[in-house]
């Protein structure tokens, strides 16, 4: 019997070592999961910003197509919004007024209610600017107002 006792030494020296290893593994796993959550939040914020920028570009081309369909009025400044306009102008008085009204409404529907537009055309060259508030996806003290400007010839 004495021989068996020496062949299998007592395990009193290693009590709790397995528990310590499990606690360290849980800590490392927790830090890793927090890192994954932070990366997911950053990716979501960046994809929202990208979506808004893409929608702004699509909307500038939409109003350009409308202007090209009514090119005579566009070339004399019938589509000009010289100041940044956030509220849709009254539509119905002319095709240009209806197009501008629909364009501002479409900006609000696709990008957000804070979206504004500006159109400056002189002769054959035009500049269209879309501006919106991106505070939802901005971090810290970054600039929250974003702008997309398209310059083209009619």
pLDDT tens digits for range 129-154? 999 988 766 565 566 888 999 999 98
pLDDT tens digits for range 34-93? 999 999 988 988 888 889 999 999 999 999 999 999 999 999 989 998 899 898 888 778
Alpha helices of the chain — where are they, by DSSP H?
Answer: 2-7, 17-69, 71-75, 95-110
Separation CA 114–CA 138 (nearest Å): 15
pLDDT band at 7 (very low <50, low <70, confident <90, very high): low
What are the residues facing 131 on neighbouring strands?
116, 147
Is the alpha carbon torsion for 135, 140, 142, 148 positive or negative?
A: negative
Q: Are 127 and 38 in contact (CB under 8 A)?
A: no
Helix/strand/coil for 123: coil
pTM above 0.95, yes or no: no
- Give the per-residue pLDDT at 6: 58
- Give the per-residue pLDDT at 70: 92
Q: What angle do CA 86, 92, 94 make, to 5 degrees?
A: 100
- Give the per-residue pLDDT at 12: 58
- Give the per-residue pLDDT at 88: 84
- Give the per-residue pLDDT at 93: 82
Is the alpha carbon torsion for 122, 110, 114, 52 positive or negative?
A: negative
Separation CA 151–CA 56 (nearest Å): 14
- Give the per-residue pLDDT at 71: 92
pLDDT at 115 over 60: yes
């Amino acid at each position: 019997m004495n021989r068996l006792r020496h062949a299998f030494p007592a395990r009193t020296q290693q009590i709790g070592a397995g528990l310590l290893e499990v606690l360290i593994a849980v800590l490392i796993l927790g830090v890793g999961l927090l890192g994954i959550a932070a990366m997911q939040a950053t990716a979501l914020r960046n994809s929202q910003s990208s979506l808004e920028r893409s929608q702004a570009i699509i909307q500038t081309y939409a109003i350009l197509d409308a202007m090209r369909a009514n090119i005579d009025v566009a070339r004399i400044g019938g589509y000009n919004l010289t100041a940044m306009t956030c509220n849709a102008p009254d539509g119905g008085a002319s095709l240009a007024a209806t197009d501008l009204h629909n364009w501002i409404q479409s900006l609000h529907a696709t990008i957000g209610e804070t979206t504004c537009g500006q159109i400056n055309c002189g002769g054959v060259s035009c500049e269209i600017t879309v501006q919106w508030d991106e505070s939802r996806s901005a971090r810290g003290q970054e600039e929250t107002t974003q702008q997309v400007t398209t310059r083209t010839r009619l």
